[in-house]
């Protein structure tokens, strides 16, 4: 039998009697799959593997501890042979054929009336792959398709409303997922976030985060833009909250695609609380926060042995008087470009030395990324002269010395745990 002879279909075996002939590991796997489909399974085999014996002992299937008889196929809907003896399997197959019962002959796939595909389940999607009688090839293809569905590279989104049991299972009211998209690079969103984005009916999007993924959405997925810029909030937070609940109540799967992490200065907590208060299911998917990832894009660790053991993350709008004013404690300012001069002055008044290194990373991980490095005393003038603008992350502390973009005179000490770093000054703006 060739693959062209196969007519792919699916059997609904719920409550129907089926027969498995054989007691080894293959029979156990096939019996388990049939039980998962809801079939009433009878196993005929003189001996049963521990897995089969456990299923029988739990009352999940019936085991007849004897040799096969031709009458065993009477009244069943489906037969699976797995004895390991081609002669016995051929006899079972012939008896099933005589009664027009579909039978999978594990000993001879060419002579088998039916084939068992390699199967995987992702959400409510079942993937079944036949590969010309080559089970390892089928399993490899199944795994590749399942992975693509899991990661969102293939669409899992529904195009037809759920019915019957699926209707209750899939929550017809809809749902909201607050997805942290990371710093902006499309490869830095989590697998879970990418998968939910591929299932979305509506995407409520910020101006930051992996905007390139919006171009990969299906044409009928609605994108609602609610992006904010410093000092300009065209869609107030209260309205964003209302949009999430209203769309979910229409039965939509809603993804709130945010930059960084929803719970790191992203107001995700407010959105989640509002959804729950209005009876809407909400899932929070953490993201790679820009506070840590964007400095890393410029080779700046927020902690480093011998330089810094801790860090603080604040916005440029926050009072800095409580932040430790030491070069060995990293300070990370988010949304701080507009207040940079005031923030630098505040840290100076708190006792932070004026020669403390400062790095600004604009558009981290994007093609137009730019790095500006100076000191606490010079950085405000440098940023103004260079036209530094948000989105940017500002890093203050000795860890900036580790950056390959730092000027050579910053690298006066061996701060490496292995060997001194080789200075690299490309793409550095200094004065």
Total domains, the chain = 3
**pLDDT tens for the 431 residues of the chain, in order:** 455 677 888 899 999 999 999 999 999 999 999 999 999 999 999 999 999 999 999 999 999 999 999 999 999 999 999 999 999 999 999 999 999 999 999 888 788 888 888 888 887 788 888 887 778 888 898 888 888 887 777 777 776 655 554 544 444 579 999 999 998 888 899 989 998 998 899 999 998 889 889 988 888 899 999 976 655 568 899 999 999 999 999 999 999 999 999 998 889 999 999 999 999 999 999 999 999 999 999 999 999 988 899 999 988 666 788 888 888 899 999 989 999 999 999 999 989 999 999 999 999 988 899 999 999 999 999 999 999 998 899 999 999 999 999 988 887 555 554 444 443 333 444 44
Q: Which of 32, 143, 153, 228 is catalytic?
A: 228
Residue 322, classified by CB atoms within 10 Å of its CB into exposed (0-12), middle (13-18) or buried (19+), is exposed
418 in a structural domain: yes
Which residues sit opposite 428 in a β-bridge? Answer: 371
Q: Which of 206, 258, 261, 411 is catalytic?
A: 206
Judge if 234 and 261 occupy the same domain: yes
Is 228 assigned a catalytic role? yes
DSSP code string of 172-203? TT-EEEEEE-BSS-GGGS-HHHHHHHHH-SEE
Judge if 259 and 380 occupy the same domain: no
Distance CA 109, CA 370 (A): 61
- We report the CATH number of the domain holding residue 377 as 3.30.950.10
Distance CA 354, CA 409 (A): 15
Final residue belonging to a domain, choices 91, 116, 141:
116
Question: Is the Cβ–Cβ distance between 93 and 110 less than 8 Å?
Answer: no
Is 220 assigned a catalytic role? no
Its domain, for residue 244, covers 164-288
Judge if 233 and 323 occupy the same domain: no
155 in a structural domain: no
pTM for this predicted structure? 0.66
Contacts of 120 (CB under 8 A, 6+ apart): 126, 127, 142, 143, 145, 146
Alpha helices (runs of H) in 41-175, residue ranges in sequence order: 50-57, 86-98, 135-150, 164-169
Judge if 246 and 232 occupy the same domain: yes
Distance CA 80, CA 83 (A): 10
Interhelix angle 237-249/268-277, nearest 10 degrees: 40
């Amino acid at each position: 039998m060739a693959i062209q002879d196969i007519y792919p279909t699916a059997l609904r075996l719920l409550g129907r009697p089926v027969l498995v002939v054989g007691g080894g590991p293959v029979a156990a796997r096939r019996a388990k799959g049939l039980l998962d489909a809801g079939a009433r399974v009878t196993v005929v085999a003189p001996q049963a593997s521990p897995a089969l014996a456990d299923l029988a002992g739990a009352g999940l299937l019936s085991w007849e501890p004897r040799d096969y008889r031709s009458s065993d196929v009477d009244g069943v809907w489906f037969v699976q042979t797995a004895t390991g003896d081609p002669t016995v399997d051929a006899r079972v197959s012939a008896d099933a054929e005589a009664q027009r019962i579909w039978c999978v002959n594990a000993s001879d796939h060419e002579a088998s009336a039916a084939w068992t595909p390699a199967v995987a389940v992702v959400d409510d999607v079942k993937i079944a792959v036949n590969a010309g009688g080559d089970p390892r090839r089928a399993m490899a293809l199944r795994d590749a398709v399942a992975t693509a569905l899991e990661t969102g590279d293939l669409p899992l989104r529904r195009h037809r409303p759920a019915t019957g049991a699926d209707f209750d299972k899939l929550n017809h009211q809809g749902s909201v997922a607050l997805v942290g998209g990371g710093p902006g690079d499309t490869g830095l969103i989590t697998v879970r976030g990418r998968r939910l984005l591929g299932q979305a009916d509506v995407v409520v999007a910020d101006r930051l985060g992996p905007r390139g993924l919006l171009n990969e959405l299906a044409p009928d997925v609605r994108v609602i833009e609610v992006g904010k810029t410093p000092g300009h909030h065209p869609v107030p937070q209260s309205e964003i909250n209302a949009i999430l609940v209203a769309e979910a109540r229409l039965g939509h799967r809603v993804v709130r695609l945010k930059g960084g992490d929803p719970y790191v200065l992203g107001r995700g907590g407010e959105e989640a609380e509002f959804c729950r208060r209005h009876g809407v299911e909400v899932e929070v998917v953490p993201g790679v926060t820009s506070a840590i990832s964007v400095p890393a894009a410029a080779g700046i660790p927020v902690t480093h042995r011998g330089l810094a053991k801790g860090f603080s993350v604040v916005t440029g709008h926050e009072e800095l008087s409580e932040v430790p004013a030491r070069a060995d404690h990293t300070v990370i300012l988010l949304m701080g470009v507009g207040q940079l001069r005031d923030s630098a002055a505040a840290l100076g008044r708190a006792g932070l030395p004026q020669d403390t290194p400062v790095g600004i990373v604009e558009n981290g991980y994007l093609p137009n990324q730019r790095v500006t490095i100076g000191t606490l005393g010079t950085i405000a003038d440098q940023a103004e002269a260079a036209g530094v603008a948000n989105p940017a992350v500002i890093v203050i502390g000795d860890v900036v010395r580790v950056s390959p973009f730092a000027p050579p005179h910053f690298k006066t000490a061996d701060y490496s745990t292995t060997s001194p770093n080789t200075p690299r000054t490309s793409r550095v703006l200094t004065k």
